[in-house]
Amino acid sequence: MFFVSKLLGSTVRDASDKPAGTLQDLVVSSAPAYPVVTALAVKRRGKVLYAAWNQVASFEESGTLLRATAADLAERELRPGELLLSATFLDKQLVDTEGRKVIRVNDIQLLRSGNEVAVVGVDVSSTAILRRVGLAKVGERLATGRQKPKPHLIDWKHVDVEHTDDSSVRLAVPQTKLELLHPADIADLVHELSPDERAAVLESLEDDLAADAFEELHPSYQASLLLDLPDDKAAELLANMSPDDAADLLADLPDDRRQHFIAMMKKDDAEDLQELLSYPEHSAGGIMTTDYAWARLDDTAEHAMERLREQAESAETVYYIYVVDRSDKLRGVFSLRDLLTTPPEKRVRDFMTENPVSIRTAGTEDEITELIAKYNLLALPVVDEEGEIHGIITVDDAIDLVLPLAWKKRLPRIFH
Amino acid sequence: MAQSPRAVGRRLVGRIGRSRLLIVLSMVGPGLIAANAGNDAGGITTWSVIGSRYGYSLIWLLVVITPVLAVVQEMNARVGVVTGRGLAGLIRENFSLRLTALAMLATVIANFGTTVAEFSGVAAAAGLFHVPSFVAVPVTAVAVWFLVTRGSYRKVERVLLALGFVLVTYVIAGIMAGPDWSEALYGATHPSIAWDSLWLFTVIAAIGTTLTPWGQFFIQAAVVDKKIPWKQYVYTKYEIYVGSVMMTTIDFFIVVACAATLFPENIVVTSAQDAAMALQPFLGEAARYLFGIGLLSVSILAAGVLPLATAYVVCEAFGFESGLDSSFREAPVFNGIITFLMFIPAAVAVVPGLPLVSVILVAQSLNGILLPVILIFTLLLINKPRVMGEHVNGTVRNVIAWGFTGALVVMSAFLLLSPLFS
């Protein structure tokens, strides 16, 4: 096992043991899980020349010996699928999908297997920094006897190279691996990136996943990020978000952009959003979502079940079904459990709970959390002065109200 | 559940009216904040000492520093807008790890010194209220540490920024002190150069308090975070120019106020009490307390920002985990730097009998001596087409920035070598 940083700059000798140049970089194939060194980039008299791997006789930290003569080294273009290892990765940022964070490549680890040399890991430790600065001894002295400084290695298979743009400082995001993560974890990763990279990562995700991850982002990033995305992607994101979150986001956009996005939406979605936007941000109306499950007074249990099947996909929660009359007045509520344990022909008005606990659209955050806590609710319906239902507030949104600290702690990278 | 459009329209007003205001406020950004943050304990002290010791004769320094400040800040803002990345990350990716380590070392040392200066400012301000420093400084350090690591610093920050505006009283105080405007004009247009070590020390301190390594990191990070598109960059540019002029205008009035009140009496500022006297013509007996509040606010503000900024910069360069939501175990380096840079400088500032004003001045000139390190990295970066594309530096800016950097290096070398000659 050896490190790239120790190899770079070492002497390359030709078949007659004369110095042919210094090692500038390693050419690796990007295809396999652990890339294999396919050629060496050798700096000779100010030029970068290449030696194919089959021209290498021995490859050690102390130096490289070639089978060929210096005259055999030639300039060439990189082939498709080939990368310069240190120029592409060393000192750059990568996403570690296993540890779920953004790391910086302090060194790259190689492993000899048979005749080949493969890239096996990334060293992200401070030991690697001290070693490269020439202070390895200091590191050893600082660490106490029992705790020898160890490299902190991340397996190469967790840092895919697919999306690496060879010359730029662009981040390598292994998209397929990202998609296996929970949206909240993706959001955490995205927080650590620079604004340009945030948009790039979101754009690469599938619509549903992008929307879920997007909702988990810090509100202060959402608006600027949305404006960075292509219009269709942004509209798709908004449509896939729950209406309460989408409304919060729209409220933060400039007028013309907001109108533009609303105009791009389906009529129903647009009307719901317009309504949500009309309530003050911290009132029950501003917090609620308009996607809830509902039934009519005269429905039978069987009929209510059919309705629920249709509504289930979009409704924020299916555990409570709200009963409304012809003028959308809230008359009662029943739970999914009630529905499952009731004979199919029984009418909703006969098994629902009347006078459900509800809150006015102008209700405050404290009132919401108090009601939900006191009555052990999973969701709280929001009604206007006439008793007409406008939406619900689910318990997870209520938790965000009492635990705002969790958000506040995620200050942006900037330090003010 | 649809509503009549008119009902919706009526209700729309409340929420959206406010959010538009927020957008406007969020545009008032990096340039002005950076300018405001520059007038900290170090700035007030340095310019007070200059006014009281040299009268009007060093005002030309402000005339020279203002355009340099504007040019240098604009450069880092431009790098931020074009690359969308922080300065520390760019240094790491474009220079060797050794050079990155050098840049970080310079930044940490400069910020350590500045934080000592801020806690000295807290100690000095507490003295005006007859609170002993061994009470005021530890209490402040613990409180700021909690606020910063618990992430609720931003609210406090606004209050402190607002209180810091007390310093605008210098403008009125400077006018009311009845300064000799013709002498002030003469001092602004006739550079007086005394090539002795005290003069060199003072000039470098004045530069180091106006342009700081952390200020350069700060403005670039602020621009990156605001995600200003290139099309709108022109506004940011002008905002930086306005902010630079605003900052040095306040410095100008600090000098004038001190030159008109203290200089004729031969009082060189050696304590906060002396510095507060410059505000007396305007504020009378209240001068002491208003000055104390202003000094305390700007000191606490910077004492919170500096350790946090340093931790972010170092972690960005070396790839350590950072963020206020990570625990000490998850992000040991990040939290370690914040804690170290908060409490060790605080411990220095409570050393009994410490000459606070001198400590503050030394910290400013330390900043001035280390500033070229960051300036050179910025200049090298901004002239790389690979990094900046078509937005590399123009000739005029290069001449100003390189010339200034060179002059600063020469002056620093003379200052550091001066003990050998005397």
**Chain A stretch 279-298, residues whose beta carbon is closer than 8 A to a beta carbon of chain B:** 279-281, 286, 290
Closest-CA residue in chain A for B327? A409
Give the span between the Cα atoms of A94 and A380, in whole angstroms: 43
Which pLDDT band, with edges at 50, 70 and 90, does B347 fall under? Answer: very high
- Of B1, B93, B101, nearest to A390 by CB-CB distance is B1
Does residue B3 fall inside a structural domain?
Answer: no
Does residue B327 fall inside a structural domain?
Answer: yes
- Report the b/e string of B240-278 with b at 16+ CB within 10 A: bbebbebbbbbbbbbbbbbbbbbbeeeebbeebebbbbb
**Chain A stretch 356-375, residues whose beta carbon is closer than 8 A to a beta carbon of chain B:** none
- Give the minimum alpha-carbon distance from A216 to chain B in angstroms, rounded to a whole number: 15
Does residue B20 fall inside a structural domain?
Answer: no
Question: How much is the pLDDT for B380?
Answer: 96
Does residue B12 fall inside a structural domain?
Answer: no
Using one digit for the tens of pLDDT, what is the confidence trace for B145-167? 988 887 666 667 677 777 777 77
* Domain CATH code at residue B294: 1.20.1740.10
Q: Are B276 and B166 in contact (CB under 8 A)?
A: no
pTM of the model: 0.71
B63: β partners: none
- Give the minimum alpha-carbon distance from B178 to chain A in angstroms, rounded to a whole number: 38
Whole-number Cα distances in Å, A34 to A85, A91, A158, A173, B11: 12, 19, 10, 16, 59
Does residue B50 fall inside a structural domain?
Answer: yes
Give the burial class of B175: count Cβ atoms within 10 A of its Cβ; 0-12 exposed, 13-18 middle, 19 or more buried: middle
Whole-number Cα distances in Å, B112 to A232, A357, B133, B307: 49, 57, 19, 8
Closest-CA residue in chain B for A409? B151
DSSP state of A8: T
Least confident of A133-137, B85-89, B107-111, B374-378: A133-137
Question: How much is the pLDDT for A98?
Answer: 63
Does residue B24 fall inside a structural domain?
Answer: no
Selected residue with higher pLDDT from A260 and B62:
B62
Question: How much is the pLDDT for B66?
Answer: 95
**Chain A stretch 133-162, residues whose beta carbon is closer than 8 A to a beta carbon of chain B:** 133-134
Number of domains comprising chain B: 1
Q: Which domains does chain A have, with CATH numbers?
A: 1-170 (2.30.30.240), 181-278 (1.25.60.10), 294-401 (3.10.580.10)
- Taking only the tens of pLDDT, chain A with its 416 residues reads 788 888 888 888 988 888 888 998 999 887 667 888 989 999 888 888 898 888 888 888 888 888 888 888 888 888 887 888 888 888 887 776 666 667 788 889 888 877 888 888 888 888 888 888 887 777 666 665 545 556 677 777 776 554 444 333 334 444 456 666 777 777 777 776 766 667 777 777 777 788 888 888 877 678 778 877 888 788 888 888 877 778 878 877 877 888 888 888 787 778 877 788 888 878 888 888 888 999 999 999 999 999 999 988 888 889 999 999 988 899 999 999 999 999 999 999 999 999 899 999 989 988 999 899 888 899 999 999 888 999 999 988 888 777 754 443 443 444 33
* Token pair of B106 as six digits: 């310079």
DSSP for B101-119, please give it: HHHHHHHHHHHHHHHHHHH
- Give the minimum alpha-carbon distance from A151 to chain B in angstroms, rounded to a whole number: 13
Tell me the three-class secondary structure of B207-227, residue by residue.
HHHHCCHHHHHHHHHHHHHHC
Give the span between the Cα atoms of B289 and B297, in whole angstroms: 12
Which pLDDT band, with edges at 50, 70 and 90, does B3 fall under? Answer: very low
Write out chain B residues lying below 8 Å of A192, CB-based: 323
Give the span between the Cα atoms of A136 and A133, in whole angstroms: 8
How high is the mean pLDDT of chain B? Answer: 86
Tell me the three-class secondary structure of A160-193, residue by residue.
CCCCCCCCCCCCECCHHHHCCCCHHHHHHHHHCC
Taking the alpha carbons at both ends of chain A, their separation in whole angstroms is 44
Q: What is the mean pLDDT of residues B290-296?
A: 88
- Of B20, B152, B225, nearest to A413 by CB-CB distance is B225
Write out chain A residues lying below 8 Å of B114, CB-based: none
SS3 A196: helix
Q: What is the mean pLDDT of residues B391-410?
A: 95
A279 and B15: CB-CB below 8 Å? yes
The vertex-A293 CA angle with A291 and A294, nearest 5°, equals 120
- Of A91, A192, A277, nearest to B93 by CB-CB distance is A91
- Give the minimum alpha-carbon distance from A221 to chain B in angstroms, rounded to a whole number: 9
Predicted ipTM of the assembly: 0.71
Instruction: Considering only CA atoms, give the Rg of chain A.
Output: 30
Give the span between the Cα atoms of A272 and B3, in whole angstroms: 9
B224 and A275: CB-CB below 8 Å? no
Residue B116 predicted with pLDDT over 70: yes
Using one digit for the tens of pLDDT, what is the confidence trace for B219-271? 898 888 777 788 888 888 988 998 899 889 999 999 999 999 999 999 899 88
**Domain boundaries, position B309:** 31-384+395-421
Q: Are A209 and A186 in contact (CB under 8 A)?
A: yes
Taking the alpha carbons at both ends of chain B, their separation in whole angstroms is 87
DSSP state of B87: H
Does residue B13 fall inside a structural domain?
Answer: no
Give the span between the Cα atoms of B345 and B306, in whole angstroms: 11
Enumerate residues 6+ apart whose C-beta is below 8 A from A349: A297, A298, A323, A331, A332
Selected residue with higher pLDDT from A278 and B135:
B135
A196 and B333: CB-CB below 8 Å? no
Question: How much is the pLDDT for A123?
Answer: 86
- Give the minimum alpha-carbon distance from B79 to chain A in angstroms, rounded to a whole number: 14
- Give the minimum alpha-carbon distance from A246 to chain B in angstroms, rounded to a whole number: 14
Write out chain A residues lying below 8 Å of B11, CB-based: 278-279
Highest-scoring range by mean pLDDT, A125-134, B69-78, B309-318: B69-78
Write out chain A residues lying below 8 Å of B225, CB-based: 195, 412-414
Give the burial class of B186: count Cβ atoms within 10 A of its Cβ; 0-12 exposed, 13-18 middle, 19 or more buried: middle
- Find which of B85, B114, B225, B306 to mutate to test the A interface (most A CBs within 10 Å of its CB): B225
Q: Are B84 and A168 in contact (CB under 8 A)?
A: no
Which pLDDT band, with edges at 50, 70 and 90, does B36 fall under? Answer: low
In this complex, is the C-beta atom of A416 within 8 Å of any C-beta atom belonging to chain B? yes
- Give the minimum alpha-carbon distance from B153 to chain A in angstroms, rounded to a whole number: 9
* Token pair of B121 as six digits: 């400012």
| Helices and strands (H, E) in chain A, number of each type | 20, 20
B101 and A133: CB-CB below 8 Å? yes
- Give the minimum alpha-carbon distance from B188 to chain A in angstroms, rounded to a whole number: 34
Residue B20 predicted with pLDDT over 60: no
Residue B366 predicted with pLDDT over 90: yes
A412 and B225: CB-CB below 8 Å? yes
Whole-number Cα distances in Å, B151 to A80, A193, A236, B213, B215: 47, 19, 33, 24, 21
Does residue B16 fall inside a structural domain?
Answer: no
Percent of chain B with pLDDT over 70: 89
Write out chain A residues lying below 8 Å of B318, CB-based: 104, 106, 126, 129
Question: How much is the pLDDT for B278?
Answer: 87
- Find which of B20, B97, B147, B322 to mutate to test the A interface (most A CBs within 10 Å of its CB): B97
- Find which of B12, B19, B26 to mutate to test the A interface (most A CBs within 10 Å of its CB): B19
Write out chain B residues lying below 8 Å of A251, CB-based: 15-16, 19
A415 and B323: CB-CB below 8 Å? no
Residue B300 predicted with pLDDT over 80: yes
Question: How much is the pLDDT for B12?
Answer: 39
Write out chain A residues lying below 8 Å of B316, CB-based: 413
